[in-house]
Structure 1
Amino acid sequence: MASTIARTAGRVLFGENARAYAAFRPGYPERVFDILRARCGAGEGRTVFEVGAGTGLATAPLLAMGCRVTAVEPDAKLAALLVDSQAAYAERLAVQVGPFEEAALSPGSFDLGIAATSLHWVDPDLALTKAFHLLHPGGHWAMWWNIFGDPDEPDAFQQRTHALFERLSKSPSHGDGPKGHFGLDRKRRIAELEQAGFRSIVAEELRWRPVLNRQQILGLTATFSPVARLPEIERQAFLGRLGAIVDEEFGGRVQRHFMTAIYVARRP
């Protein structure tokens, strides 16, 4: 049985190729930010903390809305890229480099907290308890995941390459719930939110169907933690096999079935 990658590995793994991560990881559906506006009041002047900001796929839209964001990112290389890419919003962006568990943030001082495809790299009980106390009463918490495959309707490429990925180690995002992904284990995620004290919990699943070319498929796949941690020779061989499948069996373009699972909750 394949081993599971330690959560602490996420603190350094993605920064090894930060620019590729920024180039090939897709952004989040606009519906996510509509939810943040409508249910969480995200917008001008709102204070937000972010768990594991990465290169800013969620940070940038929040800054564009007018939010003041304190981004916590354990990887110094990703944090540096985030600061550079969001220089236009420097007066409204503060970046703390280090694990969220150790971040020095003022309790009760935020309107909104978020974790975008990051909470599985942190102990969820510890993270949610800390998030709860960082919010002021009435503040909101949102966590979501981009999921690069739909367990209810797997696409042809996912079905064709499943056996290749099964041989790799597992990301902490690989959940043991009925749908096989941390973010899709709705019962457990809601229970954790309730245990931390959150109420008014709403969960939603979004589906989207991008068409990706060979470069996009390989660039995205190279950012997946089980692939990123392979030795260079093995990683290139793995990506070469995928590239051959894209070219020879899919004509160089693949329609993928992606999902985004989002949870929104409120501190009473």
Structure 2
Amino acid sequence: MTAENQRVGRHIFGSDAAGYASARPQYPESLYVALAAEALTPGADVFEIGPGTGQASRRLIAADIASLTLIEPDPVLAARLADLGNNVRVVNAPLEEAGLPQSAFDLGVAATSFHWVDSARGLPMVRDLLRPGGVWAMWWNVLHDPEQDLFSRAVLPLLKDAELPPSLRGPEQRHYSLWTDDRLAELSAAGFAHVEHQMHELTVRMTAAEMRALYATFSMIRRMAPELRARMLAGIEAVGEQGFGGVIERRFRVPLFIARKAR
């Protein structure tokens, strides 16, 4: 994780917060069922890293938790989160500067965000925030997946010269969360116990225009100069219209990693 990537990740998404909120899909219900079996229970104290516009945050609040602390470095996004509820505290800072009390939380989560954190430093910090027996869960909607997804594969040539974010690696743009052994090893190295991986799925139908709006939220698109970004998004929409008949059905993979702090 470079310092430049961290800087970009802390500010780029707020530049189109409304577009992000409307274009990003929700997470599958099966994921929240899995969290409820672990620690997402009434009365729990929860923190979330990088909540963005609050897609997961609202679902956490609905579980009747006692408190939710949102750690959001982007000031625009942090301001949007301020009215989520009386039991919600928003900390406008990166995890490394949040200054949260140790051993104060039952559950910590990161939803499609932890690839922006230096895991070697961040995971021990996360562990220290949890009470003994507390649970850490991180997951991703894998929205660009040329390995398994036909639409992602079709637009890959358009993105070949894009500056890849920390969520994607190599010419095939393999997602950070799909390097399962690496993620599990990092959790174990950080001192977590009972480390587990699950794979959930989310099936969606999107128009070519909706697909364009989704890709417009990706950091590698947001970082482009305006004219190049417009051409790129037009090309992505054209792939949807011409190659998929204007409506694309996609099955997103949703990897979930769960780990518990020793008692």
Which TM-score bucket, shorter chain as reference?
Answer: over 0.9
Letter in 2 for 1:229: R
Give yes or no for contact 1:179–1:185 (8 Å, CA) kept in 2.
Answer: no
Q: Percent same amino acid at aligned positions?
A: 37
The partner residue of 2:135 within 137, 140, 144 is 140
The partner residue of 1:228 within 188, 212, 222 is 222
- Compute the displacement of 1:126 (Å): 1.0
Gaps of 5+ in 2: none
- Distance (Å, rounded) in 1 between the aligned partners of 2:168 and 2:240: 24
Equivalenced residues, count: 259
| Secondary structure of the corresponding residue to residue 256 of structure 2 | strand
- Distance (Å, rounded) in 2 between the aligned partners of 1:188 and 1:246: 33
Give yes or no for contact 1:212–1:254 (8 Å, CA) kept in 2.
Answer: yes
State the Cα deviation string for residues 82-109 of structure 1 (Å, max 9, x = none).
224x2xxx21100000111100100001
Give runs of aligned pairs for residues 1-268 of structure 1, distance below 5 A: 6-39=5-38, 41-67=39-65, 68-84=67-83, 86=84, 90-150=85-145, 152-155=147-150, 157-175=151-169, 180-268=174-262
- Distance (Å, rounded) in 2 between the aligned partners of 1:52 and 1:100: 9
| Secondary structure of the corresponding residue to residue 99 of structure 2 | coil
What TM-score, normalized by structure 2, do the two folds share? 0.93
State the Cα deviation string for residues 98-138 of structure 1 (Å, max 9, x = none).
11110010000100011111111010111100010000101
- Compute the displacement of 1:29 (Å): 0.8
- Distance (Å, rounded) in 2 between the aligned partners of 1:122 and 1:95: 18
Q: Identify, as 1 or 2, the structure richer in helix.
A: 1
- Distance (Å, rounded) in 2 between the aligned partners of 1:7 and 1:189: 19
State the Cα deviation string for residues 49-89 of structure 1 (Å, max 9, x = none).
111111111111010111210000000111111224x2xxx
Gaps of 5+ in 1: none
Assess, with a 3 A threshold, how the Cα gap between structure 1 residues 175 and 267 changes in structure 2: closer, same or farther: farther
Letter in 2 for 1:205: M
Q: Tell me how large the CA RMSD over aligned residues is.
A: 1.8
- Distance (Å, rounded) in 1 between the aligned partners of 2:52 and 2:202: 22
